[in-house]
Amino acid sequence: MSFRNFKVVPRMVFGRGSFNQLDEILEEQRQTANDWVVFVVDDVHQDKPLKDRIPLHEQDMLLWISSKDEPKTTYVDELTLRVQAFHPGKDPVSVIGIGGGSALDLAKAIALMLTNEGGSASYQGWDLIQNPAVHHVGIPTLSGTGAEASRTTVLTGPIKKLGMNSDYTVFDQLVLDSELIAGVPKNQWFYTGMDCYIHCIESLQGTYLNEFSRSYGEKALDLCREVYIQDHSDKDEKLMMASLMGGMSIAYSQVGACHALSYGLSYVLDYHHGIGNCIAFNALEEYYPEGVVEFREMVKKHDIDLPTNITQGMSDDDMEKMITTAMKLPPLWENVYGPNWEQEVTRDKVRSLYEKM
Amino acid sequence: MSFRNFKVVPRMVFGRGSFNQLDEILEEQRQTANDWVVFVVDDVHQDKPLKDRIPLHEQDMLLWISSKDEPKTTYVDELTLRVQAFHPGKDPVSVIGIGGGSALDLAKAIALMLTNEGGSASYQGWDLIQNPAVHHVGIPTLSGTGAEASRTTVLTGPIKKLGMNSDYTVFDQLVLDSELIAGVPKNQWFYTGMDCYIHCIESLQGTYLNEFSRSYGEKALDLCREVYIQDHSDKDEKLMMASLMGGMSIAYSQVGACHALSYGLSYVLDYHHGIGNCIAFNALEEYYPEGVVEFREMVKKHDIDLPTNITQGMSDDDMEKMITTAMKLPPLWENVYGPNWEQEVTRDKVRSLYEKM
């Protein structure tokens, strides 16, 4: 048996207002007067005060990205070309992602694609990346995905939704400023935080788990409860820590049925990961009875309008495609059922779960 | 206000039996046939089965170290010279510390002194180290000090007990194999684990604390309780995680009165850090009332023979020296009393606390 030797983000700043230290942090990367950086920023910030706080030097690039859709490989490749065209022949010395999970994943993906040729679709999978990425920094303005801590960047490609999973994917630096996640629209705040909550429920109950991941997962779950049930006065800080620790807990654990089904919802119906998880989780009482009860309490407490009956009237083709996507994730189902998962996870079974959504 | 941009150990393996992966992990560092590594191992392992499991290649050095005394700067310098003499003119490509807090701190210190000239006493302090260390790996066989996660290496020098505190001090790799901490003598297991417990009590109650350190500290404390109060069946794994998370919580927190007094006990009476903390903590009801009650329950439950009356019959000179050492740690006292600590922490006050031990 071999245990994963996992890569952790080696530098972090945590604190309310720490975004103000970004220029100083990037200074270490700028070795010559021509060195430049690219800020990959979610375009929801285009009209917000954060825009004017970005420490943009004359030679730097500010790249607004859209998180309307989940990141696609074609979009990554297009953005990478735009970055390369900004100063032809000279790569940026740092790629700084500012936003939610999509912006962070796009920043990671661009940093990787600047040094690895051939387009992002060819690197979807585990440890296919050959060369170290350009230095990259993650600055969440939305918390819960764990993208700040993970070794993947989830991408929808021509034939699959799968990350570029590698040690080089991991950020070199995080700036965790809880001030930045205040003021997120309520639904989005809820769906994104539930990504963390659900992922902890799935992994703590899974067959893949050791004490490292259990300790991180349990604390992340406690923090989610302080945020979404107890309405703690430090809830922004606590959600930020929940997301980080939830992301760390992934080292030796795995998500389960909910994430598998949610991947199908994203791939076929374009649901964002967070809301997709919530829709799927709500139909999974038989898997996570206590978690689903607590989840519904939180939905009620925060007056969240969770979409229902979303698979009614779908074409058979789409349903089949969704079932196929969900079933193509053996590690997730194995985490639920153990090695004989294939006996349990039949197409009919998956269809019946989707029909409840 | 500026927040610390702190350095985290960038790679970790966690798992029962993961020590078996050490050779493979070191393979990445060996670039040429002459590349060699040094294993810095606590000599308590000299007659134990672990000795034969060390993946020693022909050109490697096995350096047994004594943890009878707390690490001294003179000892670090002597060991560094021995390492340099082993293959003159060619530094090792990795320094691997195997043991408790002393072995880990000595490995960090040797890795630093191989690349920084002038002797370790000249680097006792904050950020005095100029050059990156040789790659270094931490493998605890005793858990609780947090030395595996910290950016310091505590050393007793000619004029002070103070660490070489720097980003370069942080290990490059950890191997956290809970199998290795089974079978530690009970008293040592207790005193070392209490280092973690006490440090969490001090930091969670301190004036220096943010949510990052609170989350880590709270979880470390929960894990200590599972180990020392609930006698959990996974207690080796849990203690290992408690130590790691306790070490991480130091990022934005500080220890307090107990560690300050314990430093004095070590400096003058040669008490090891773990037992020194326990002796001091037992006299600190006025500071940590609930913690001290719980601590005494654990002492009783595990039938630990805590030394008492240790300052009776001390010379006045020694007592004065001990008081001076304890008072020379402003950040620790500030964490207890806030910025006006000097009004509270008088020599008489400190003496009265020592007299209770």
pLDDT above 90 covers a percentage of chain A that reads 91
Do A212 and B241 count as a contact with CB atoms less than 8 A apart? yes
Q: Compute the count of residue pairs across chains A and B with CB atoms less than 8 Å apart.
A: 105
B10 has a chain A CB within 8 A of its CB: yes
pLDDT digit string, tens, across residues A301-341:
999 999 999 999 999 999 999 999 999 999 999 999 999 99
Contact A211 B178 (CB under 8 A): yes
Residue B308 Cα, gap to closest chain A Cα (Å)? 36
**Inter-CA distances, A122 with A69, A164, B310, Å:** 21, 9, 68
* CA–CA distance, B127 with A172 (Å, rounded to integer): 21
Over the stretch B3-15, which tens digit does the pLDDT of each residue have? Answer: 999 999 999 999 9
CB of B249 less than 8 A from some CB of A: no
Report chain A's mean pLDDT, rounded to a whole number.
95
Q: Which of B218, B237, B252 sits opposite A211 (nearest CB)?
A: B237
pLDDT tens for B97-129 read 999 999 999 999 999 999 999 999 999 998 999
Average pLDDT over residues B48-73: 95
pLDDT reading at A87 higher than 80: yes
A208 touches chain B (CB under 8 A): no
Over residues B233-262, mean pLDDT: 95
State whether residue A38 sits within 8 Å of chain B by CB: no
Are residues A322 and A268 in contact, defined by beta-carbon separation less than 8 angstroms?
A: yes
Task: Calculate what percentage of chain B has a pLDDT beyond 70.
Answer: 100
Cα dist. B282→A56, A62, A100, A193, A333 in Å? Answer: 54, 57, 47, 42, 51
Interface mutation vs chain B, best among A214, A215, A219, A234, most B CBs within 10 Å: A215
Smallest CA–CA distance, residue B355 to chain A, in Å, is 39
Q: What is the pLDDT of residues B166-177, one digit of tens each?
A: 999 999 999 999
Give A253's contacts in chain B (Cβ within 8 Å): none
> Rounded CA gap, A81 and A151, in Å?
23
A5 and B21: CB-CB below 8 Å? yes
Whether B59 and chain A come into contact, CB under 8 Å, resolves to no
In the prediction, which pLDDT does B192 show? Answer: 96
pLDDT for res A349: 97
pLDDT of A1: 65
- Interface residue B208 vs chain A (CB under 8 A): no
Mean pLDDT computed over A138-147:
96
pLDDT-derived band of residue B159, with 50, 70 and 90 as boundaries?
Answer: confident
Nearest to B5 among A4, A13, A210 (CB): A13
pLDDT at residue B124, as a whole number: 94
**Residue A277, pLDDT above cutoff 70:** yes
Residue pair A235/A182 in contact (Cβ under 8 Å)? The answer is no
Res B1 pLDDT > 80: no
How far CA B112 is from CA of A179, B9, B78, B209, in Å, comes to 37, 16, 14, 29
B12 touches A at CB < 8 Å: yes
Closest CA to B196 of B278, B108, B307, B285: B278
Residue in this structure with the two tokens 């919580």, named with its chain if needed: B249
Q: Taking CB atoms and an 8 Å cutoff, what residues of chain A touch B2? A: 21
**B233 in contact with A at a CB cutoff of 8 Å?**
no
- Looking at residue B157, its pLDDT comes to 87
Most A-contacting residue of B16, B211, B226 (CB-CB within 10 A), to test interface: B211
> What is the distance in angstroms between the Cα of B241 and the nearest Cα belonging to chain A?
6
What pLDDT, on a 0 to 100 scale, did the predictor assign at position A127? 93
Closest CA to B192 of B305, B100, B271: B100
Q: How far apart are CA B103 and CA B160, in angstroms?
A: 20
Q: What does the pLDDT average to over A58-67?
A: 97
Which site among A2, A4, A5, A252 would you substitute to test the B interface, given the most B Cβ atoms closer than 10 Å to its Cβ? A5
Separation of alpha carbons A34 and B169, rounded Å: 32
Torsion sign, CA atoms A341, A343, A344, A345: positive
pLDDT digits (tens, 9 = 90+) for A177-229: 999 998 899 999 999 999 999 999 999 999 889 999 999 999 999 999 999 99
B71 contact partners, CB below 8 Å, separation of at least 6: B102, B105, B106, B109, B153, B154, B155, B156
Please report, for residues A28, A96, A278, the alpha-carbon distance to residue A135 in angstroms, rounded to integers and kept in the order given. Answer: 11, 9, 34
pLDDT in the model for residue A335: 94
Q: What is the pLDDT of residues B212-228, one digit of tens each?
A: 999 999 999 999 999 99
Q: Measure the CA dihedral A285/A291/A292/A294, to 10°.
A: 150
Q: Which of A11, A176, A218 sits opposite B7 (nearest CB)?
A: A11
Average pLDDT, chain B: 95
